[in-house]
């Protein structure tokens, strides 16, 4: 009766005489109590034969204030990667699991489970960088066992926690440089996949970038070690169709979602950061998409050159706008 916006997203109410359901804050005239039914979620009201109000649009995500409060509560509950089921989280914030999943994903681009996994990884990386012992860092980050931590970090860090803690010590990367239409190109790889693709004017500068990325790794110059991958990357630079190239890079769950969306953009075409954000279910996260592109360590393999500003301008490319323009032109056959 008070049309309290704080309860939007917790339930909807339906009116039997009009067959319409609304969110709690709907400004429409209130019906008689004996004609009102309550439902936990819009889907339940629709299943009962009611249609959504065109005025308050209850089938949409919760109102901004309520949604923000809900997302904040979930983030606090997950803490540094705490493991809670979707049902437990939903009960804690007082909404249905389905509504929580959809609202949280719209706001952050991640499901609660993916967010918790990303937080665990971020905490683990921070502990390892601080010099914390590997076992302590694993449990501080919320992993239930060493095996789970090693499985997760092998995929997202590209190396074991102990190797990451040592700045890549114990990790072996082979690298090679080659001329390309974009200048000198360096390709570095582990046995798992390509770890770096850099462009520049001189080999010395490219190697220095690789050393900064992996300060303690064993860097071995070997043009033949992963020649097929090097050739595939070179073909992509020239705008040719090439075989898929496996990658071995560090990325958060959100960054991986952005990278997968980039790989789906057809060669020679572009999408704005906002369109990419929409594609991964995170509308409004255009800046975060831009930051993810900036962290891409394997240019061309993950085609961040296909991401452009809202106006379509070719901005924000790590290797320079001219190289971005040249890549798109070669892909388009111009």
- Condensed to tens digits (0 to 9), the pLDDT of residues 234-281 reads 999 988 877 788 888 877 778 888 998 999 999 889 999 999 998 888
Give the residue ranges of DSSP H helices in 214-308: 227-237, 253-263, 273-279, 286-295
pLDDT in tens, 71-117: 888 888 887 556 778 888 888 887 788 878 888 877 776 788 878 77
Q: In this structure, are residues 199 and 182 in contact, taking their beta carbons and an 8 Å threshold?
A: yes
**Residue 64 scores a pLDDT above 70:** no
CB neighbourhood size of 19 (10 A): 12
Q: Which are the catalytic amino acids?
A: 22, 304
Q: For 275-310, b where at least 16 C-beta lie within 10 A, e where not — what string?
A: bbbbbbbbeebbebbbebbeebbbbbbbbbbbbbee
pLDDT of residue 3: 87
Structure tokens at 266: 């057809």
Q: Does this chain's domain 61-164 share its CATH topology with 253-331?
A: yes
Residue with tokens 């601080």: 130
pLDDT-above-70 percentage for the chain: 81
The pLDDT assigned to 155 comes to 47
Tell me the CATH number of domain 5-52, given options 1.10.760.10, 3.40.10.10, 3.40.605.10, 1.10.3470.10. Answer: 3.40.10.10
Question: Topology of domain 172-237, per CATH?
Answer: Double Stranded RNA Binding Domain (3.30.160)
The CATH class of the 61-164 domain is: mainly alpha
178 or 281, higher pLDDT: 178
Domain positions in the chain are: 5-52, 61-164, 172-237, 253-331
Taking each helix axis from N to C end, the angle separating 112-129 and 97-108, rounded to the nearest 10 degrees, works out to: 50
What's the confidence (pLDDT) of residue 176?
A: 93
Reported CATH class of domain 253-331: mainly alpha
Q: Residue 208: pLDDT band by 50, 70, 90 thresholds?
A: very high
Q: Rounded distance, CA 327 to CA 302, Å?
A: 13
């Amino acid at each position: 009766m008070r049309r309290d916006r704080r309860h939007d997203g917790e339930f909807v109410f339906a009116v039997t005489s009009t067959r319409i359901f609304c969110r709690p804050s709907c400004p429409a005239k209130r019906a008689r109590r004996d004609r009102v039914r309550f439902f936990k979620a819009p889907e339940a009201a629709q299943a009962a034969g009611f249609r959504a109000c065109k005025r308050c649009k209850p089938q949409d995500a919760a109102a901004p204030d309520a949604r923000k409060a809900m997302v904040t509560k979930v983030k606090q509950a997950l803490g540094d990667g705490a493991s809670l089921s979707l049902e437990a989280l939903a009960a804690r914030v007082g909404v249905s699991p389905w509504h929580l999943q959809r609202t949280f994903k719209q706001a952050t681009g991640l499901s609660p489970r993916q967010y918790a996994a990303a937080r665990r990884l971020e905490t683990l990386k921070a502990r390892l960088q601080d010099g914390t012992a590997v076992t302590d860092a694993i449990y501080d980050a919320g992993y239930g066992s060493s095996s789970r931590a090693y499985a997760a970090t092998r995929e997202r860090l590209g190396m074991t926690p102990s190797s990451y803690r040592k700045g890549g010590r114990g990790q072996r990367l082979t690298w090679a440089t080659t001329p390309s239409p974009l200048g000198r190109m360096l390709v570095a790889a582990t046995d798992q996949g390509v770890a770096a693709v850099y462009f520049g004017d001189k080999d010395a500068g490219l190697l220095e970038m690789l050393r900064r990325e992996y300060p303690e790794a064993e860097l071995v110059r070997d043009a033949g070690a992963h020649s097929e991958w090097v050739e595939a990357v070179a073909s992509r630079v020239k705008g040719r169709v090439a075989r898929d190239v496996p990658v071995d890079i560090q990325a958060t769950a959100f960054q991986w979602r952005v990278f997968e969306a980039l790989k789906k953009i057809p060669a020679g075409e572009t999408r704005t950061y906002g369109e990419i954000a929409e594609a991964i279910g995170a509308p409004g996260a255009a800046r975060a998409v831009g930051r993810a592109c900036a962290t891409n360590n394997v240019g061309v393999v993950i085609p961040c050159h296909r991401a452009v500003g809202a106006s379509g301008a070719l901005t924000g490319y790590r290797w320079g706008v001219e190289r971005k323009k040249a890549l798109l032109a070669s892909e388009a056959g111009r």
